[in-house]
């Protein structure tokens, strides 16, 4: 049952990532990996919301954790793509963009997770 929940969540997460990433790449210039950036920050925000709600209002049991945190958000966020794109920027000599991408997603992700967690306490 757990593997089924993870697989279904993973399908939803990967399709959602594909859709959001594609939308961002259609709207933003191709000079920076904006799609991955937005996906990772959004994933951190949603993760924070779920964890915050779980601590405040209800216990998130193993099936829900498997579905949402491992399946949906595990497939939605794109850490391996983020590192590959950062490496590509470094390889191409775009040091400033690489640093912005690496630290922007790290710091932004931490802030987004905190914001989701904090928002869950207000909701």
Maximal CA-CA distance, the chain: 48
**pLDDT value for 51:** 85
Q: In this predicted structure, what is the pLDDT of residue 52?
A: 84
Contact 32, 101 (CB under 8 A): yes
The whole-number pLDDT of residue 26 equals: 96
**Which long-range CB contacts under 8 A does 77-81 form with residues at least 24 apart?**
77/17, 77/39, 77/40, 77/43, 77/44, 78/17, 78/21, 78/36, 78/39, 78/40, 79/40, 81/33, 81/36
Spell out, as residue ranges, where the chain has pLDDT lower than 50: none
For the chain, which residues make up each domain, given as ranges? 2-122
Which pTM value belongs to this model? 0.82
């Amino acid at each position: 049952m757990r593997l089924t929940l993870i697989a279904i969540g993973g399908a939803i997460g990967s399709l959602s990532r594909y859709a959001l990433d594609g939308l961002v790449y259609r709207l933003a210039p191709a000079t920076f990996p904006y799609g991955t950036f937005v996906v990772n920050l959004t994933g951190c925000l949603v993760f924070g919301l779920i964890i915050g709600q779980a601590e405040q209002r209800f216990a998130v049991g193993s099936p829900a954790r498997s579905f949402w945190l491992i399946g949906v958000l595990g497939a939605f966020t794109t850490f391996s793509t983020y590192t590959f794109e950062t490496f590509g920027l470094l390889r191409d000599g775009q040091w400033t963009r690489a640093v912005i991408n690496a630290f922007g997603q790290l710091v932004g992700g931490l802030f987004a997770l905190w914001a989701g967690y904090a928002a869950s306490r207000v909701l």
